[in-house]
Structure 1
Amino acid sequence: MKRTMLHYLVEVADPKGHYFDVQLQVEIPLSKLQGAQADRWVDLTLPAWIPGSYLIREFARNILYVKSTVNGAESVCAKVGKDHWRVHLDAAMVTSAHSSVLLLCHWRVYAWDLSVRGAHLDDTHGFFNGTSLFLCPTGLENSHIELIVSRPGENLVDWVVACGLPSQPGTLKDAHGCPVLKAGGQVKFTAPDYDSLIDHPIEMGALEVESFEALGVKHVFAVYGADKDLDLQRICIDMKPVCEAQIALFEPDHKRAPFDTYWFMLHAADNGYGGLEHRNSTALLFNNAELPQRGVEKAPKGYEGFLGLCSHEYFHSWNVKRMKPAAFVPYDLTQENYTRLLWIFEGFTSYYDDLMLARAGKLDEAGYLKSVGRTIAQVMKGPGRLNQSVADSSFDAWTKYYRQDENAPNSIVSYYTKGALVALCLDSAIRQQTAGKKSLDDVMRLMWQRKGLTGKGLHEDEFATLVEEATGIDLQQQLQQWTHSTVELPLSDALKTYGFSLAQSPGEEAVYLGLNGQFKPEGMLVKQVINGSPAHVAGVSAGDVLVAIGGKRLTEGNYKRLLASARPGENFDVIGFRAERLMEFAVRAGEAASNEWLIEKLDKPGHKVVPCPWQNR
């Protein structure tokens, strides 16, 4: 039986207006049509969210219209849901057909979302995720797919296309294997099914491209928007051992990656930060000023953060793209997919991202420990960790973590950061109880064999059993406590295992008020108030604009001087506005509460230390 094929055409239609035009052509067997003989139809839907970003994003809002023909005759295409269109076929269309009907649909998509999740188009480049562009006929998700990207026009600069999908044999490519899209030309790709199609984003434009090989796998780095002096070769040199370390972690014997080629697609922006993982690629957004320059030996301050972002997304190639919660097998892209396990799939990835930099020699011990200290600070800075477990944080990702408001520090904890600290405690416990013979690495390798290579999802109560099987250690009670309660994690004990101490360090501020704000010409706009803090007790609220404190105008400079010189217990009269209403607050300064954490080597540990995980090479 002939397999149905979906033919998609994406046209760079109006870059100045930021519009892609998309066309779908498919010959649909009569048996695949929906409805009864007298009333048949084809449903078309667009995903409501994109895997890796757990929020209903309503991508369909950017579709201007959908039009269709059946067997060359215009047909009614009605919107029947927020991301759901229905093409109606009259009886004559069906009865005149032999065994199938030819459906042709076209629609226009507005693409002006400069993020890793959506679509963006202008005169200089185009970027899209398939979840933003490709309507799919219901029941044909497993069809083979042909994708053509077209760029009409004349006298245009050639665009380079970065995409993990295989291109048509004979396609013109650059020196690194990227297809070249000429003015008036097209590039053709293939995908085995719809799920694969939407898991391969495309970046195209006047890209700067470099490539490197890591354990026999080609890695391509394609960059849009960078300064002309970007040292892309240095980035490739730095990422090569990191990629090799990750491949070797999961496949220590064969050192075999789960892909033939990997694509880093970086949009270097004036500001911004983000990354989204895909099965053989990642889309990245990072500050241009923090990337290395040719001829400048010292890298910018934020460059280690960029390498950590790349390491994080690359680690996802195993952890969440192939090993994933059972709730994601398969994804239901029409609605929320609830799981309490993101502390493993996002949090453990956050633990390993900098850890792999250290193992690859791209982050020294001091830098690594400073990074761990920052993660501890992020978790400990707000009372949200005392109100929400990391498992509940995962479950509530759709409604809380990705929709944070002014009360977020008081109500939620991040499954990224606290999940990373759970991994730290778990790794330490395994190493301590096995005298360093086993580690979290063994757990990840077993999970790769059982889940990643088989495509089976991890069930909600299954992880502790995997830990015991991989290490011989029963940590079910500890894992339950660390992840399903709000009890503080044993971070000091975890670091003591390796011969290090953990302590808070004094901050620059002499007192604590408990509010976060943004300074504007008229004063401080209060963004957040911490529960139980002096500001909370005094009645200060998010949204208030504070204009004076202690008899002086509230400027950023005056505020910093006050925090540095005041004494706990000192009272301050604060004047501000809530909307148009004048407000007065009596704020009593509290004891200074530093949120800086130092990790230092113990001179005399008093016990036999276990080798540190960041020193594994």
Structure 2
Amino acid sequence: MPTLDYIVTPVDAAAHRFRVVLQTDVVPGDTIELALPSWIPGSYVIRDFARHMLSIAAESGGEAIYVQPIDRQRWQCTPGSDHLTVACEFYARDESVRAAFLDDTRGFFNFTSLALRPTGRENDVCRVTLDPPSGISDWQVATTLPAVDVDSRGFGGYEAESYWALIDQPVAMGNAIEYVRFQVRGVPHAFVLLGSHDADTQRLAADLAAVCEAQAAVFDELPAREYLFLAQITANGFGGLEHCESSVLQVPRAALPSRVPAANGESVRSEAYETLLGLCSHEYFHLWNVKRIRPQAVAENDLQSEAYFRDLWAYEGVTSYFDDLGLVRAGLISEQGYLDRLATLATRIDRTPGRHRQSLSQSSFDAWLKFYRPDENTPNAVISYYGKGAQFALGLDLKLRVETDGAVSLDDVMRRAWEVHGREDRPVPEHGLAAIAAEASGLDLDIFTESYLETIIDAPWADWLGYFGIDAMFAPGKDDEAALRGRFGVRTGAGAQPRVSHVFDDTPAQTAGISPQDRLVAIDGIEVGANLVGQLRRYPAGAVVAVHLFRSDELLVRHVTLGRAAAGEWKLRIDENADSAAHARRARWLKNAHSA
């Protein structure tokens, strides 16, 4: 059986360089095309990983052969014997979860960043040798790549059943790796701390086990032989990327649960820690939704060009809906805490002008061009398929529960998607999840999905909350952001001369000609300093103020007519006077994934 054999070596940690050697048998005289992915599944933008390639060289039969570039991510060569060796060096200094990183304390990579493949041989078995860094003796390896012959530190031989399986198995290595182990449904799990920390690991294990069980209960099946949360501990980075048996996280050190006990003797669960648990919940839900319930456009893509599709709401939006829902079902946040999160999401969406320009379907399709390349006008042009997709998923779930009298929920739809597509490895065609929802519920959902996916109209999620004993209120907000956003129309940074980062459409600031990157100096001759909102609140609605600002190095003045109201804010509260049936329906929604 033909194989692709890779040797990965952290060849120069100080210079941030990996060396990767590919060896394989070939037919003498055949021209071999070699390719490196241009993007990584789960992050929908062209990243051009080949830009970090420092060198490429090939030999066959002991003779060097010429490697000719075809385009920015493909090369070709013609071996003269039945064996080909290709050696590449890569610069690795990307600290994100998507690429490759190496210094003298740790290393990390996705194979999409380092592993060339001969095109047409993606289904060949891939054998990998992970070498330790030269001159460093205390590193160990963390990966879900199946081990074949490794030493006590994890260096040695691994194997993946195909190239596609290989690139779904990230690798971490370093001198500060700690496993926080727990089990879910008999499957070994671990939160792998990559870096120094002072976390309460016992609390971490217990909370993550509860989160993972809550998400596994949605599908009632856990299709992994193991699962690792590979957590890169950082000062303030935050984010994640899903894989088939792992996820890679960037975790702020301060977000980890503290060992310092609260007054009642329990470990403190901070807001930042709850946010981290939400990230873990999100990436874990992807174990089913995205990694196995896969969009057809992604499944059929060769990673050389974009995979356009209009259903990212069904993958990222639905997952974003279930991430916080998983926390309340796991008992880690209260029902009111969950409603507060829904209200915060709704407020954020309502304050984003881009929702009036871009539908959810457009947001999905345009992800390759707009979502991952934000600029100062992004809030005016784009709506997130994560946030608004989650809100649509909420509306769909509530509609299903209300109109089927509790017989069908979005949980049922996701289990059906798993049974039909995920378990059978049948990629989901475009609009597939909406079709499954209609089939499972027996409802005609065409108008609902067309109205709220293909247009800019918001799904009427709040209209159904009363059925579950929840009051929904919308009024001008009292927070500083609401005042700045509604009465002035900007977002700024901190500092003595706050710099404008965004100017929102159809606001007093935009009308007056204030621009992104302007530095605000004074209002009516009084220095702004760090009290911009406080100054604005001293003026009545409709007041005209003179705003002095620096644009580049030029001092300008703009006259702004202040708005009449702060930006809106949602509040959701449990109605304690609702009847017992409403309370029971809410409990089935928020506490029991199997009883709709």
Q: TM-score over 0.5 for the alignment?
A: yes
Paired residue type of 1:134: A
Conservation of the 8 A alpha-carbon contact between 1:120 and 1:126: yes
Residue equivalent to 1:121: 102
When the two structures are superposed, what TM-score results if normalisation uses the length of structure 2? 0.94
Relative to structure 1, is the Cα distance of residues 17 and 566 closer, same or farther in structure 2, using a 3 angstrom cutoff?
A: same
Kindly state the Cα deviation for residue 456 of structure 1 after the two structures are TM-superposed. 1.8
Distance 2:506 2:533 in 1: 22
Q: Which moved more, 1:272-281 or 1:325-334?
A: 325-334
When the two structures are superposed, what TM-score results if normalisation uses the length of structure 1? 0.91
Are residue 26 (structure 1) and residue 1 (structure 2) matched?
Answer: no
Conservation of the 8 A alpha-carbon contact between 1:504 and 1:594: no
State the Cα deviation string for residues 334-373 of structure 1 (Å, max 9, x = none).
0110010000100000000010111111111121111111
Paired residue type of 2:90: V
Kindly state the Cα deviation for residue 260 of structure 1 after the two structures are TM-superposed. 0.8
Are residue 419 (structure 1) and residue 412 (structure 2) matched?
Answer: no
Conservation of the 8 A alpha-carbon contact between 1:23 and 1:107: yes
Conservation of the 8 A alpha-carbon contact between 1:209 and 1:221: yes
Residue equivalent to 2:566: 593
Residue equivalent to 2:535: 562
Are residue 481 (structure 1) and residue 451 (structure 2) matched?
Answer: yes
Kindly state the Cα deviation for residue 158 of structure 1 after the two structures are TM-superposed. 2.3
Are residue 611 (structure 1) and residue 576 (structure 2) matched?
Answer: no
Unaligned 5+ residue runs, structure 1? 31-36, 174-179
SS of the counterpart of 2:319? helix
Residue equivalent to 1:34: none
Conservation of the 8 A alpha-carbon contact between 2:311 and 2:431: no
Are residue 517 (structure 1) and residue 492 (structure 2) matched?
Answer: yes
State the Cα deviation string for residues 390-428 of structure 1 (Å, max 9, x = none).
111000000011111111111111000011011111111
Kindly state the Cα deviation for residue 605 of structure 1 after the two structures are TM-superposed. 4.7
State how 1:319-338 maps to structure 2 within 5 Å: 319-338=289-308
Distance 2:569 2:72 in 1: 46
Number of matched residues? Answer: 579
State the Cα deviation string for residues 113-162 of structure 1 (Å, max 9, x = none).
101001111111110001111011112211111101101434x3422211
SS of the counterpart of 2:274? helix
Distance 2:534 2:349 in 1: 27
Conservation of the 8 A alpha-carbon contact between 2:10 and 2:134: no
Distance 2:119 2:320 in 1: 36
RMSD: 1.7
Distance 2:213 2:139 in 1: 30
Kindly state the Cα deviation for residue 489 of structure 1 after the two structures are TM-superposed. 2.2
SS of the counterpart of 1:80? strand
Conservation of the 8 A alpha-carbon contact between 2:132 and 2:139: no
Residue equivalent to 1:290: 255
Unaligned 5+ residue runs, structure 2? 262-266
Conservation of the 8 A alpha-carbon contact between 1:351 and 1:423: yes
Kindly state the Cα deviation for residue 258 of structure 1 after the two structures are TM-superposed. 0.8
1:551 to 511, 525, 547: 525
Kindly state the Cα deviation for residue 473 of structure 1 after the two structures are TM-superposed. 2.0
State how 1:192-271 maps to structure 2 within 5 Å: 192-205=161-174, 206-227=176-197, 229-251=198-220, 256-271=221-236
Kindly state the Cα deviation for residue 520 of structure 1 after the two structures are TM-superposed. 4.1
SS of the counterpart of 1:131? helix
Conservation of the 8 A alpha-carbon contact between 2:13 and 2:133: no
SS of the counterpart of 1:401? coil
Paired residue type of 2:244: R
Distance 1:47 1:540 in 2: 42
Conservation of the 8 A alpha-carbon contact between 2:12 and 2:133: no
Distance 2:429 2:319 in 1: 18
Kindly state the Cα deviation for residue 236 of structure 1 after the two structures are TM-superposed. 1.2
Distance 2:133 2:541 in 1: 68
Kindly state the Cα deviation for residue 607 of structure 1 after the two structures are TM-superposed. 10
Conservation of the 8 A alpha-carbon contact between 2:501 and 2:516: yes
Are residue 82 (structure 1) and residue 51 (structure 2) matched?
Answer: no
Distance 2:370 2:457 in 1: 21
Conservation of the 8 A alpha-carbon contact between 1:401 and 1:412: yes
Residue equivalent to 1:177: none
Paired residue type of 1:13: V
Conservation of the 8 A alpha-carbon contact between 1:424 and 1:494: no
SS of the counterpart of 1:298? coil
Are residue 168 (structure 1) and residue 148 (structure 2) matched?
Answer: yes
Distance 2:140 2:128 in 1: 16
Residue equivalent to 1:542: 516
State how 1:7-156 maps to structure 2 within 5 Å: 7-30=5-28, 40-89=30-79, 93=80, 97=81, 101-154=82-135, 156=136
Distance 1:604 1:238 in 2: 32
SS of the counterpart of 2:326? helix
State how 1:423-462 maps to structure 2 within 5 Å: 423-462=393-432
Residue equivalent to 1:348: 318
Kindly state the Cα deviation for residue 491 of structure 1 after the two structures are TM-superposed. 2.6
